[in-house]
Amino acid sequence: MVAHILVADDEARIREVVQYALEHQGYRVTLVTHGRAALERARQSDVDLVILDVMMPELDGLDVCRELRRSSTVPVLFLSSRGEEIDRVLGLELGGDDYLTKPFGTRELVARVKALLRRGVSPGAAPGTSPRAPEDAEVLEHDGIRIDVERHEVRCGEHVLRLTATEFGVLAALFERPGVVLSRGQLMQRAYPFDNLVTERTLDTHVRRIRAKFRPLDRDPIETVHGVGYKAAGA
């Protein structure tokens, strides 16, 4: 099925450029002009990816993402003319998967969209239900934590944790080889095998988000090996 992409931006020219570029690739595109409409539309189950302008009326893109992450793992790509690193990190910390600074080229936009869809769900499926984990393993278990690939489910004891497709890919890559220390470069290759746009800083941000979700359970599934990279904790 064709992937359905929601684009939220209050600039008509940006909407037109994004729509043309994505429809040219065969995607189905829905356009909205402000944050509240984006949030309402994104909550519908048929959206496979959301592109959010950071600065929008009613609700800005950061607020939309924050609200979405309360109930959805749909991939989120931010668009913004604000290119400062602190803004990019903030967007990722709130649950975004990637960040593209205006002005941008349509080729880069399409490349990032394709990469996010590969990390996420099959087009037309419910967001967050069919991730692609390393080696296509069905179940990964380590130190009391269980990753069910088919269900896109992470369990720690009796608790189910909600991870985005990007976070899921990072944790699955580490749990696939417990005890093996992966450099940031190796982890990026295993977690995002089709995406050469991921940076080490972005990876570190996703690791922090994973840890934050386990913190209420007094667990940390990832161990930092200083000067080398990361490995599954307890291995």
Question: Given this model, what pLDDT does residue 212 score?
Answer: 93
The Cα 131–Cα 214 span in angstroms is 20
Is 60 exceeded by the pLDDT of residue 15? Answer: yes
Give domain status of residue 210, yes or no. Answer: yes
In a domain, residue 138? The reply is yes
Number of domains in the chain: 2
Residues 6+ apart with CB under 8 A from 181: 225, 228, 229, 230, 231
Among the three residues 59, 87, 119, which one is the final residue of a domain in this structure?
119
pLDDT band per the 50, 70, 90 thresholds, residue 86: low
Distance CA 234, CA 223 (A): 8
* Judgement on whether residues 58 and 145 belong to the same structural domain of the protein: no
Return the structure tokens found at 194.
Answer: 């089709």
Q: Which CATH number does the domain housing residue 65 bear?
A: 3.40.50.2300
Q: Does residue 98 fall inside a structural domain?
A: yes
Higher pLDDT, 137 or 73: 73
Q: What is the CATH number of the domain that holds 205?
A: 1.10.10.10
The pLDDT value recorded for residue 83 is 64
Structure token digits, residue 14? 């940006």
Q: What is the pLDDT, as a whole number, of residue 133?
A: 42
**Strands (DSSP E) along the chain, which ranges?**
4-8, 28-32, 49-53, 76-80, 98-101, 139-142, 145-148, 153-156, 159-161, 182-183, 222-225, 229-232
Instruction: State whether 185 and 98 are in the same domain.
Output: no
In this structure, are 37 and 96 located in the same domain?
yes
- Report pLDDT digits (tens) over 204-219: 988 999 999 999 999 9
Domain span holding position 37: 4-119
Same domain, 112 and 10: yes
The pLDDT of residue 57 = 87
pLDDT at 71: 87
Q: The tokens of 119 are what?
A: 């990390």
- Read off the pLDDT of residues 169-193 as tens digits, 9 standing for 90 and up: 899 999 998 889 999 988 888 877 6
Examine residue 83 and state whether it is found in any structural domain, yes or no.
Answer: yes
Distance CA 39, CA 55 (A): 14
Least confident of 35-49, 73-87, 127-141: 127-141
pLDDT digits (tens, 9 = 90+) for 29-73: 999 999 999 999 998 878 999 999 998 988 999 999 999 998 888
Residue 25 pLDDT > 70, yes or no?
A: yes
Same domain, 24 and 107: yes
Q: 168 in helix, strand or coil? A: helix
How far, in Å, CA of 157 to CA of 135, rounded?
25
- Quick one: average pLDDT of 11-17? 95
Percentage with pLDDT > 90 across the chain:
50
> Final residue of a domain: which of 119, 142, 167?
119
The verdict on residue 188 lying in a domain is: yes
Residues 105 and 172 in one domain: no
Is there a domain that residue 124 lies in?
no
Tokens of 44: 């519908």
Domain presence at residue 127: no
Amino acid letter, 120: G
Q: Are residues 100 and 25 in the same domain?
A: yes
Closest C-alpha among 79, 139, 143, 137 to residue 105: 79
pLDDT of residue 121: 45
| Inside any domain, residue 34 | yes
